[in-house]
Amino acid sequence: MAQIKPFKALRYTKKAGAIEALTCPPYDIISESQRQGYLKTNPNNMIRLELPREGRDFYATAGQTLREWERGGILAQDSRDSFYIYEIEFAVKGQKDSVKGLICRVKLEEFSKEIILPHEETLSKAKTDRFNLMKATNCNFSQIYSLYMDDGGVRNQLHGLSAGVPEIEMTDEQGLIHRLWTITDPEQTAQISARFEQKKLFIADGHHRYETALNYRNWLREQGKAAPGDAADCVMMMLVDMENPGLHVFATHRIVKNLAQFDPAVITEKCGKYFDITDKNGLSGMETELEAQYNKHKKAFAFYCGGQSWKLMTLKAQFEQERFLSDKSPATNGLDVTVLHTLVLENLFGIDRENMANGLNLAYTRDIAEALAEVENGAADCAFILNPTRVSEIREVSLANEKMPQKSTYFYPKLITGLAMNKIR
């Protein structure tokens, strides 16, 4: 099963500056103006390596910058193999919460081995970008976020090992508190590694980076630059217990735009075959109405075409248990996003997978207000507001060796980039 290892993380030194000014959110949720803002605050910010935009060859410049920072003492590798316990403290809807996990190296495994399991489709463009960066830097700057099933043994051990004062504690610009503990005791690290020998890992966030790490390992071997057992056999991950009460998955809503023809009345009539449709007035109650359906385990979403009214669409009871959607497993067919994509987006709007991948008629956001505003100001034809995917649904789809549509999950909070890096060569 999963093989995890301690490692000597590459980390910032005091010479680099305050850690708050050196870290950044994941590269794929940062705008160019935000990127420039991080660099203005401190030119040593990790965004210069994780999302390079300087020089004629962005990737080569990132590789050169990394080497310069190592030579200049901005970055230094830890002297002892270590595990790193990472905790984020945050608030959701005014309630304080936290999530804690283990940063480590994980041996790369093909998905066919069913040791490390994905749940979402990936895009070639994003993998090409990450592959070029890995070739130039030979480093993982951010952790892949993965989940595991636990009987309490790992959770309790990590809790005990992080009972003391953290080595790093910082608050980011959004008010989230990040803490890091370093575990170097060989007996403790060996015990933690042994606990994972019978576990599967479920990728929560970082599918593109994981597939890229596999491609990079294979490329190095083809070039004669790596062999089995080398550091390229592993990738850096943050491992979190699937039953951690601090795990939050937010919904990602669908914005439909640039349709050649769009008639809300026609769409509503056709949807009536499969959905109970209720007219609603007032947008403030939309999220509450959807949450009520979620708590009943109903497959439902809001259909919005502008103004102060919207339609609640709930899958009819006679269709909930039928495999009429596709030849996929009940786990996949039972997802809200599968119902929406299959019955509405593909069937009625003609937005197939290639269209979705190219972003021709579909955009995504986790901000309900943004989705509604895009319709109201005429930039979009309509929007579908969804409930979040459950962690248990992610597990069941992964165990069925299937994948969800893109943008089915948004794990919150996102892991910060820059506390620990994995030097591969």
> Looking at the structure, do residues 176 and 294 belong to the same domain, yes or no?
no
- Asked if pLDDT for residue 164 goes beyond 90, the answer is yes
The residue range of the domain holding 320 is 252-387
> Looking at the structure, do residues 342 and 244 belong to the same domain, yes or no?
no
pLDDT (mean) for 210-224: 96
- Asked if pLDDT for residue 175 goes beyond 60, the answer is yes
Q: Which residues contact 127 (CB under 8 A, 6 or more apart)?
A: 208, 211, 212, 215
| pLDDT single digits (tens) 389-422 | 999 999 999 999 999 887 889 999 999 999 999 9
> 121 in a domain, yes or no?
yes
For residues 16 and 23, is the Cβ–Cβ distance under 8 A? Answer: no
For residues 364 and 28, is the Cβ–Cβ distance under 8 A? Answer: no
> Looking at the structure, do residues 53 and 200 belong to the same domain, yes or no?
yes
Among residues 213, 30, 65, the alpha carbon closest in space to that of 130 is found at 213
Q: What is the pLDDT of residue 152?
A: 86
> 405 in a domain, yes or no?
no
Q: What is the pLDDT of residue 300?
A: 96
Q: What is the pLDDT of residue 324?
A: 61
* Percentage of the residues of the chain whose pLDDT score is greater than 70: 98
> 146 in a domain, yes or no?
yes
Confidence of residue 64 (pLDDT cuts 50, 70, 90): very high
d(CA 421, CA 419) in angstroms, rounded, equals 7
> Looking at the structure, do residues 259 and 179 belong to the same domain, yes or no?
no
328 vs 245: which has the higher pLDDT: 245
> Looking at the structure, do residues 191 and 135 belong to the same domain, yes or no?
yes
> Looking at the structure, do residues 155 and 262 belong to the same domain, yes or no?
no
Among residues 49, 219, 197, the alpha carbon closest in space to that of 137 is found at 49
Dihedral pair phi/psi, residue 158, rounded to 5°: -65, -40
- CATH number for the domain that contains residue 170: 3.90.1530.10
Among residues 252, 271, 273, the alpha carbon closest in space to that of 364 is found at 252
d(CA 349, CA 341) in angstroms, rounded, equals 10
For residues 195 and 155, is the Cβ–Cβ distance under 8 A? Answer: no
Q: What is the pLDDT of residue 325?
A: 67
- Asked if pLDDT for residue 322 goes beyond 60, the answer is no
Lowest mean pLDDT among 50-64, 265-279, 341-355, 373-387: 341-355
Q: How far apart are the first and last CA of the chain?
A: 25
> How many residues are listed for the chain in this entry?
425
| pLDDT single digits (tens) 252-308 | 999 999 999 999 999 999 999 999 999 999 999 999 999 999 999 999 999 999 999
For residues 344 and 228, is the Cβ–Cβ distance under 8 A? Answer: no
251 vs 125: which has the higher pLDDT: 251
Dihedral pair phi/psi, residue 136, rounded to 5°: -80, -25
Cis upstream peptide for 388 (omega within 30°): no
> Looking at the structure, do residues 188 and 52 belong to the same domain, yes or no?
yes
Among residues 245, 255, 270, 262, the alpha carbon closest in space to that of 344 is found at 270
Confidence of residue 328 (pLDDT cuts 50, 70, 90): confident
> Looking at the structure, do residues 217 and 282 belong to the same domain, yes or no?
no
Q: What is the pLDDT of residue 407?
A: 84
What single letter denotes the amino acid at residue 18? A
- CATH number for the domain that contains residue 347: 3.30.1760
Confidence of residue 321 (pLDDT cuts 50, 70, 90): low
> Looking at the structure, do residues 236 and 293 belong to the same domain, yes or no?
no
Dihedral pair phi/psi, residue 271, rounded to 5°: -70, -20
> Looking at the structure, do residues 344 and 322 belong to the same domain, yes or no?
yes
Confidence of residue 170 (pLDDT cuts 50, 70, 90): very high
Q: What is the pLDDT of residue 323?
A: 57
Dihedral pair phi/psi, residue 333, rounded to 5°: -65, -20
Mean pLDDT of the chain, nearest integer? 94
Q: Is residue 73 left, alpha or beta, with left meaning phi > 0 and alpha meaning psi from -120 to 50?
A: left
For residues 222 and 143, is the Cβ–Cβ distance under 8 A? Answer: no
For residues 72 and 78, is the Cβ–Cβ distance under 8 A? Answer: no
- Asked if pLDDT for residue 123 goes beyond 90, the answer is no
Give how far the C-alpha of residue 75 lies from the chain's centroid of Cα atoms, to the nearest Å.
26
Q: What is the pLDDT of residue 354?
A: 81
- Asked if pLDDT for residue 355 goes beyond 60, the answer is yes
* Percentage of the residues of the chain whose pLDDT score is greater than 90: 86
> Looking at the structure, do residues 259 and 239 belong to the same domain, yes or no?
no
For residues 239 and 148, is the Cβ–Cβ distance under 8 A? Answer: yes
3-state secondary structure 266-333: HHHHHHCCCEEEEEEECCCCHHHHHHHHHHCCCCEEEEECCCCEEEEEEECHHHCCCCCCCCCCHHHH
> Looking at the structure, do residues 213 and 334 belong to the same domain, yes or no?
no
Q: How many domains does the chain have?
A: 2
d(CA 326, CA 99) in angstroms, rounded, equals 36
pLDDT (mean) for 305-323: 87
Among residues 257, 251, 215, the alpha carbon closest in space to that of 232 is found at 215
